[in-house]
Structure 1
Amino acid sequence: MRYTRLERNWVMYDVGNSALVLLSTSVVPIYFNAINTGASSAELVTAWANAQTIASLVVALLMPILGSIADFAGNKIKFFIGSFFTGLVLCFAQALPMGALPFLVIYVLCTIGLNSSMTFYDAMLCDITDDERMDAVSSSGYAWGYVGSTIPFMLCLALIFLGPSLLGLETLVCTRLSFVITGIWWLAFTLPLIRTYRQRYAKERRPNQTAASIVAETFVGLKGTVRAILSNRALLVFMIAFFFYIDGVHTVIAMATSYGSALGIDSSQLILALLVTQFVAFPSAIIYGRLAGRVGTLKMITIAVLAYVGIVTFAAFFLQSAVEFWILAILVGLFQGGVQALSRSYFGRLIPKDRANEYYGFFDIFGRYASVMGTLLVSVVTSLTHDPSLGVLSIGILLMLGFVMLVKLSRMPGAAV
């Protein structure tokens, strides 16, 4: 498929932000564990889970309100730029030497900026393409994001592993410099989208409308949107299903490296395995987008959710060594991009385009609260049992609930499949 210039620039933002996502799910947990000396494996997993929970909760609370305001003509790009630059500055700030707690605070704030920008970015999908191309464009964003993010990531790995011997720098110093490399990459692949994006669907401002009236109208509009979602049975069932199944996806992504590190798996093995995930996910996401056009988007989402039930079970019962972690990384790569991309595009076809940010804000609530529930569940179960494996296993229940709701949705008349 030939992309338009705007579609291509939109895809490139995934290439930029995915570099920070990859760094945050691989190197950052290991770095945090290294500077948080004296903590047990259960304490490390709990602290990291709590950080993910806080970041997800803040984004979930903010996005419907900010998203509704961003739906007014000309606002979407402003909110996108604001959240992006917030995340970018804090990405660079993580390169400063500091203790474990200050680092965790800055990491949480950076994650809030990153995830907020991604919500506005998701809503841009309705502006940059049409319904028939959404699956393919959304899948390409995730696919190229996976493979493109490996370039700065490999530079960071080379610096971390070779820097001490070739440059005479400490490993921790080399790790801090990786935040600088990643931030520069993120900026470079964001500027084209900022320059070319134009908001296609928007709520129109009234003449001389003040900021206060916009905020007041936003809260009134949010009530109307809630009623509209509740009255649209197919949309509501999908959002509930998404709430449950995306929990497993996000929690596996967020906790995999921390969990593997806590089990004593060598950090180099963890990082290289996750690098393989990126390369596996590249063709898998594209193939998922093409299969969705043949057998149905909803069916492909359902298959991926069922696969994640198996992945979580494998992680809980069989993950003990680097070999099993490599298997886990490959399995995640096969389904991760597909389920995320198709969820984004499927939702985009169900909602009114001129209120895309507002609806994606609620979409983000369901996704982020699911992340909150997943990481919090891992944290609580691990703390109570002192067994990280049981914490991982507990999210399988949520995945199964999501699967059941998707099956129910597929049987509803009028649901786009």
Structure 2
Amino acid sequence: MGTDTVRAQAADEAAERRREQHGWYMYDWACSVYSTSVLTVFLGPYLTSVAKAAADADGFVHPLGIPIRAGSFFAYSVSVSVILSIFVMPIAGAAADRTGRKKPLLAAAAYVGAAATTGMFFLDGDRYLLGGLLLIVANASVAVSMVLYNSYLPEIAPPEERDAVSSRGWAFGYAAGSLVLVANLILFTAHDTFGVSESTAVRICLASAGVWWGAFTLVPLKRLRDDRRKTPAGTASAPGWRQLAATVRDMRGKPLTLSFLLAYLVYNDGIQTVISQASIYGSEELGLGQSTLIVAVLLVQVLAVGGALGMGRLARRYGAKRTILGSLVAWTVTLGAGYFLPAGAPVWFFVLAAGIGLVLGGSQALSRSLFSHLVPSGKEAEYFSAYEMSDRGMSWLGPLLFGLTYQLTGSYRDAIISLVAFFVIGFVLLARVPVRQAIRDAGNPVPDRI
């Protein structure tokens, strides 16, 4: 084979890889709108108001005859969706690895979730049970789809490209979340101008996230290819916990991979808690209004785009591990500054939001790309199901510590500073992981800079 032919084949392969990468980015663009507009901004307060409309004189609703405070219904629905995800994610991951047909499974998860989200348009009156059911289905679906989506990363990007590719994926997601959230906020704040009620405006915002999710999922489904590798024939996926146990047993043979996953579990718990509790800190401790908090969420989304891309560049120069460690230091400094924020000063809260945005996307993107190097070939979806569970199903220690600290001290400032422990412990655990040896133990090539 001549040199020109080899070069032409290499160029064709590079072009096809870029095409797949661009398609892969678009799934983050498609589904991140659900996380931003639905979960972070609109659904919690709205579903709570619907549940309160259905509550009895004592403020309780009774799903399946169980008395539940209306104000807790949203949180309980999220918890049920997490439990369902823990059962479904390992099964989907093992099935994808066994058959090599990730794309049909990704399509099924995406469109079930998109349909459930679009159906939230019909969440009015006292239909709190419908809202809870749609939330459970949508939340579990996005979790399963992210397992399959993340598992494509080792297939579409060689080791030296993964940090940049993962960072661009996160940046696409945050960009879409920002774009749609701006449109949603215009509709919500000017609903009278558009001739709709506030309730109808919220339901349109919820449903639009599902339509966006379903429409843009067509792009990755067209461009991504099914993996032609399969795990050995005769391997079967087991029921939820049994499959998870089998995955963990296999990972015990890769103790350094498990060590990284433990470090990620700890510091990601801190990240997720800051995201979920920052609005409570802003409203209850700093006395800030709803409009200020929504603008802060939007600021985080916008700056996370640049943060993800910027940290991707830093990783190319300094390596992913060092860059993540640097981001954990930045998280610690940001929380320390947050402790001293003056009440009633939205400008300083926006500064805090800017700090969170700049490190948020990069921390998550580089963690994903680094983990992809530690996964044995042919077991990407199975291992990423465990990774996704550490992201979604295990992030409860942070909120527990936050709540207990507030209960014991009566201060949200003490509660927010208590989260520093997750970043300090996560830093120590990650610093102790010899990632080059971990990559070799997984049977993968070691990049020049990691």
Range class of TM-score, shorter chain: 0.7 to 0.9
TM-score by length of 1: 0.86
1:199 to 226, 232, 235: 226
Task: Decide whether the 8 Å contact of 1:45 with 1:259 is kept in 2.
Answer: no
Distance 1:413 1:204 in 2: 24
Distance 1:53 1:4 in 2: 38
Distance 1:411 1:11 in 2: 26
Cα gap change, 1:330/1:371 in structure 2, threshold over 3 Å: closer, same or farther?
Answer: same
Tell me the equivalent position of 1:358.
Answer: 382
Pairing 1:278–2:301 present: yes
Letter in 2 for 1:306: V
Pairing 1:251–2:273 present: yes
Equivalent positions of 1:237-386 (< 5 A) are: 237-263=259-285, 264-318=287-341, 320-321=343-344, 322-382=346-406
Tell me the equivalent position of 2:3.
Answer: none
Pairing 1:26–2:41 present: yes
TM-score by length of 2: 0.80
| Structure of higher CA gyration radius | 2
Point out where structure 2 has 5 or more consecutive residues left out of the alignment. Answer: 1-13, 53-57, 60-68, 440-445
> Structure 1, residues 266-319: CA drift from partner, whole Å, max 9, x if none?
222111121122221112111111111110100111111222223334445537
Q: Mean alpha-carbon deviation: is it higher for 6-15 or for 111-120?
A: 111-120
Compute the displacement of 1:343 (Å).
Answer: 0.6
Equivalent positions of 1:1-150 (< 5 A) are: 4-23=18-37, 24-32=39-47, 51-95=77-121, 96-99=123-126, 101-102=128-129, 103-150=131-178
Pairing 1:167–2:194 present: yes
Compute the displacement of 1:186 (Å).
Answer: 1.4
Compute the displacement of 1:160 (Å).
Answer: 0.4
Tell me the equivalent position of 1:236.
Answer: 258
Q: Percent identity?
A: 28
Task: Decide whether the 8 Å contact of 1:91 with 1:183 is kept in 2.
Answer: yes
Compute the displacement of 1:384 (Å).
Answer: 6.1
> Structure 1, residues 208-250: CA drift from partner, whole Å, max 9, x if none?
x6xxx72359988765643442232321221110010001112
Task: Decide whether the 8 Å contact of 2:113 with 2:139 is kept in 1.
Answer: yes
Task: Decide whether the 8 Å contact of 2:88 with 2:240 is kept in 1.
Answer: no
Letter in 1 for 2:282: G
Number of corresponding residues = 408
Considering Cα pairs closer than 8 Å and 6+ residues apart, tell me whether 1 or 2 has the greater RCO.
Answer: 1
Point out where structure 1 has 5 or more consecutive residues left out of the alignment. Answer: none
Task: Decide whether the 8 Å contact of 2:113 with 2:141 is kept in 1.
Answer: yes
Tell me the equivalent position of 1:215.
Answer: 237
Distance 1:219 1:242 in 2: 21
Task: Decide whether the 8 Å contact of 1:19 with 1:182 is kept in 2.
Answer: yes
Letter in 1 for 2:85: V
Letter in 2 for 1:265: L
Compute the displacement of 1:369 (Å).
Answer: 3.8
